[in-house]
Amino acid sequence: MAKAFVFPGQGSQQVGMGKDLYEANQSLQPVFHSADEVSGLAVKRTMFEGPEDQLKQTQITQPALYTHSLAVYQLIKDKVSADVFAGHSLGEFCALAAAGVFSAEDGIKLVSKRGALISQARQGTMAAIIGLADDAVISLCDDIKEVWPANFNSPGQVVVSGSAQGIQQIVEKAKEAGARRALPLPVSGAFHTPFMQQAAEEFRTFLEGFTFNPPQSKVVPNVTGEPTDDPTLIKEMLARQLTSPVLWTRTMQSLSSLGVTDIYELGSGKVLCGLAKRGMSGVDCTPLGTLEDINALVSS
């Protein structure tokens, strides 16, 4: 009966996230302040007060989500321990910090740099395709210029990424092919595609300045979806992650293979718990994003 901590990625942000944690626990406040100091942006204020459009800006969203997830982790780490760590896209950085691969401080430096680089990358967008087989979505991508599968989230749910024109085409073709839903996502970039190549090259260089330690427990990188405790491989996978699809379906299969029966989603929302319910059997998933959630866990 193994336990897993999983951490959400971009798209899970909500105005007000983390404010209850900040106000209730002074020891957490430096975590939030460091996000502002390192990024040079008003991350904390935007998290707590919005506006929503500003919180959706990648250079703010990424340090905001990281900060919130790490604050939740700080509050529960002495109450619950995990046997395996994983995170969806940006959430992988939270997972690695929680697993001890790098410090919380280095993590905020990494995600702030990553968010800044992505925000400067060639613009594009993304869409969710629901109700088609993965192979069918891959085939549609092959037929449309500048569109790629970006997130394999659960069986029958794939996010595609690419140019605005290409995404419009694939949304139409997916509906024609019988997709239950095909809808554009409110993002400002074609994440996990060759559009991110320059950002990935600059980020790889930035990563070289950081020391990665062996994780306390297994981690599951997005690029492979396979567990590892090799810090050299983990760093290489982070460098490749910006231009590679997120293999979250395979990640959930790995969690099952490791005997995970209890998953805790640390951070904003409960997207990953929803994916776990669709993609795994015999597993309980508990979202932990608010002080109320944490108190309920601790008192249970």
pLDDT, mean of residues 111-137: 94
pLDDT digits (tens, 9 = 90+) for 61-93: 999 999 999 999 999 999 999 999 999 999 999
In which band, very low, low, confident or very high, does the pLDDT at 122 lie, cut at 50, 70 and 90? confident
Q: Indicate the class that CATH gives domain 125-185.
A: alpha beta
Q: Is 89 a catalytic residue?
A: yes
HEC string of the chain? CEEEEEECCCCCCCCCCCHHHHHHCHHHHHHHHHHHHHHCCCHHHHHHHCCHHHHCCHHHHHHHHHHHHHHHHHHHCCCCCCCEEEECCCHHHHHHHHCCCCCHHHHHHHHHHHHHHHHHCCCCEEEEEECCCHHHHHHHHHHCCCEEEEEEEECCEEEEEECHHHHHHHHHHHHHCCCCEEEEECCCCCCCCHHHHHHHHHHHHHHCCCCCCCCCCEECCCCCCCCECCHHHHHHHHHHHCCCCEEHHHHHHHHHHCCEEEEEEECCCCHHHHHHHHHCCCCEEEEECCHHHHHHHHHC
In which band, very low, low, confident or very high, does the pLDDT at 139 lie, cut at 50, 70 and 90? very high
What pLDDT score was predicted for residue 92?
Answer: 98
Provide, rounded to the nearest whole percent, the portion of the chain with pLDDT above 90: 93
pLDDT digits (tens, 9 = 90+) for 219-264: 999 999 999 999 999 999 999 999 999 999 999 999 999 999 999 9
pLDDT digits (tens, 9 = 90+) for 83-120: 999 999 999 999 999 999 999 999 999 999 999 999 99
Contacts of 212 (CB under 8 A, 6+ apart): 96, 101, 102, 231, 232, 234, 235
What pLDDT score was predicted for residue 187?
Answer: 79
Distance of CA 177 to the CA centre of its chain: 29
* Residue 124 clears pLDDT 90, i.e. is over it: yes
What pLDDT score was predicted for residue 1?
Answer: 86
Question: Domain limits of the chain?
Answer: 2-121+193-299, 125-185
State the catalytic residue, choosing from 39, 192, 254, 268.
192
State the catalytic residue, choosing from 12, 34, 39, 89.
89
pLDDT digits (tens, 9 = 90+) for 162-190: 999 999 999 999 999 999 999 998 777 89
Task: Supply the mean pLDDT for the chain.
Answer: 96
Which is the CATH superfamily of the domain at 2-121+193-299? Malonyl-Coenzyme A Acyl Carrier Protein, domain 2 (3.40.366.10)
Q: Is 88 a catalytic residue?
A: no
* Separation between Cα atoms, residue 286 and residue 262, nearest integer Å: 8
